[in-house]
Amino acid sequence: MRRNCLAEFRLETDRLILRSWRAEDCAAFAVMSADPDVMQHLGGTIDRAASDAVIARLQGGEAEQGQTFWAIERKGDAALLGFCGLRRGGHAGTPVPDELEIGWRLARQAWGQGYAREAAAASLDWGWRNRSDAQIAAWTVPANRASWGLMLRLGMVHRPELDFDHPSFAPGHPLCRHLVYTIDRPA
């Protein structure tokens, strides 16, 4: 796993720490990535090598852009709960090729406790303070009601004109269509 020479990122909320990825996160993230419930809207489970590669890409994004989908650590017990944060680009062939994207993925045992909303609100706040973008976007498949529901609770608005068919999935595949939500910079 790649280590960058930047200072470790750290953003605290009441219950969470969003931080740079560490080598010791790999095992817990691999367990999460092998959970069919966690991965049902993301193309299916992945093995340890693919899970480690995700972390390496996220670390590379942080080194290059200064932000990524950061690791979420619970303050009470230092458990890795998943990730949340901001990243840009990598979506060629869609209406959102270079948008600043907010995203999250949490382990099943962390669902329904408000962690995703807490981490996402902190990530949005960090983005407004540290990036000049006029809006931040997020997307998911129509069946992922939990994610688009959180987008609405965060104040994001569905933008049907930006919805797209994901180029990684064949037309008609249940994960092909993606709904896009955005939130504008606060006045």
Asked if the structure places residue 5 within a domain, the reply is no
Please give the model's pTM, rounded to 2 decimal places: 0.94
Asked if the structure places residue 44 within a domain, the reply is yes
Which CATH number does the domain housing residue 152 bear?
3.40.630.30
Q: Can you give the pLDDT of all 187 residues of the chain as single tens digits?
A: 444 455 799 999 999 999 999 999 999 999 999 999 999 999 999 999 999 999 999 999 999 999 999 999 999 999 999 999 999 987 888 999 999 999 999 999 999 999 999 999 999 999 999 999 999 999 999 999 999 999 999 999 999 999 999 999 999 999 999 999 999 999 9
123-130 contacts: CB < 8 A, separation 24 or more? Answer: 123/11, 123/18, 123/70, 123/84, 123/85, 123/86, 124/154, 124/183, 126/11, 126/67, 126/86, 127/67, 127/86, 127/100, 127/102, 128/185, 128/186, 130/66, 130/67
Q: Which range marks the domain in which residue 139 is found?
A: 10-184
Asked if the structure places residue 2 within a domain, the reply is no
Asked if the structure places residue 3 within a domain, the reply is no
Asked if the structure places residue 54 within a domain, the reply is yes
Asked if the structure places residue 98 within a domain, the reply is yes
Q: How many domains does the chain have?
A: 1
- Contact criterion met (CB below 8 Å) for 83 and 71: yes
- Contact criterion met (CB below 8 Å) for 118 and 14: yes
